[in-house]
Structure 1
Amino acid sequence: MDARDIIKVGFSAERTLVVPPEQTVGHFVRGMPMVYATPMMILEMELTSGDAIRDLLETGWVTVGTEVDIRHLAATPVGATVRTTAKVVAVERRVIRFEVEAYEGERKIGDGRHARGLVNLASFNKRLAAK
């Protein structure tokens, strides 16, 4: 499968979530503030990127995260609504590159770039089982 045949620059997606206590720094590290954790923000950016292209993939194909270059710009408390966006900015044969952003209201709390690689699930599982 060649991503260039089905995925185009500009495809995008958006997700929202209300920050739960389980996704805060304080949940993972005792004594830290109960604010949205950077790894959780990155996860949401990855999921949003996947959403932008998932329905275009042929049966048996998925994408997996391969690169992240993210800035976490501002703290966000439990209960705040976070909106995450992802837009395709480049398409290679097996790699799709995204521009990602996260907002609390109008305030940008994170941004950066993310790449996802195309994977044939059957081939992947076969290689994994051989290890």
Structure 2
Amino acid sequence: MDARDVIRIGMSAERTLVVPVERTVGHFVPDMPMVYATPMMILEMEIASGDAIRRFLAPGWVTVGTEVNIRHLGASLVGATVRTTAKVIAVERRVIRFEVEAFEGERKIGDGHHARGLVNVEAFNKRFGAK
């Protein structure tokens, strides 16, 4: 599959999350503040990126994260509503590149770039012996 045949610059998706205790840095690391953890923000950015293009992929194909370059600009407390956006900014044969952002209200709390690679699930499973 060649992503250039089906994915277009500008495709986008958005996700909303109310920050739960389980997504705070303090949940993972003792004695740290109970604020939205950077890896959890990146997870939402990755999921939003996949959401933006998933329906256009051929059956048996998925995308996996291959690159992240993210800034976490501000803390968000438990109960805060965080909106994450992803927009396709470049399409290569097997790689799709995204601009990603996260907001609490109008305040930007994160931004950066993310890349996802096309993977044929059957070929991947054969290569790695997955059942």
Q: TM-score, normalised by structure 1?
A: 0.98
Task: Give the aligned partner of residue 119 of structure 1.
Answer: 119
Distance in 1 between residues matched to 2:128 and 2:39, nearest whole Å: 25
**RMSD (Å) for aligned C-alpha atoms:** 0.7
Unpaired runs of at least 5, structure 2:
none
Look up the equivalent residue of 1:71 and give its one-letter code.
R
Task: Give the aligned partner of residue 60 of structure 1.
Answer: 60
Secondary structure (helix, strand or coil) at the match of 1:30 reads coil
Distance in 1 between residues matched to 2:44 and 2:14, nearest whole Å: 10
Task: Give the aligned partner of residue 28 of structure 1.
Answer: 28
Look up the equivalent residue of 1:93 and give its one-letter code.
R
Secondary structure (helix, strand or coil) at the match of 2:51 reads helix
Matched-pair identity in %: 80
Distance in 1 between residues matched to 2:56 and 2:74, nearest whole Å: 33
**What is the Cα deviation at residue 22 of structure 1?**
0.2
**What is the Cα deviation at residue 62 of structure 1?**
0.1
Distance in 2 between residues matched to 1:49 and 1:115, nearest whole Å: 9
Look up the equivalent residue of 1:49 and give its one-letter code.
S
Task: Give the aligned partner of residue 10 of structure 1.
Answer: 10
Distance in 2 between residues matched to 1:35 and 1:55, nearest whole Å: 33
Distance in 1 between residues matched to 2:3 and 2:53, nearest whole Å: 10
Secondary structure (helix, strand or coil) at the match of 2:31 reads coil
Query: After TM superposition, which residue ranges in structure 1, 4 or more long, deviate above 4 angstroms?
Result: none
Per-residue CA distance 1:84-126 (angstroms, 9 max, x = gap): 0000000000000000000000000000000000000000000
**What is the Cα deviation at residue 36 of structure 1?**
0.1
**What is the Cα deviation at residue 50 of structure 1?**
0.2
Secondary structure (helix, strand or coil) at the match of 2:9 reads coil
Look up the equivalent residue of 2:36 and give its one-letter code.
Y
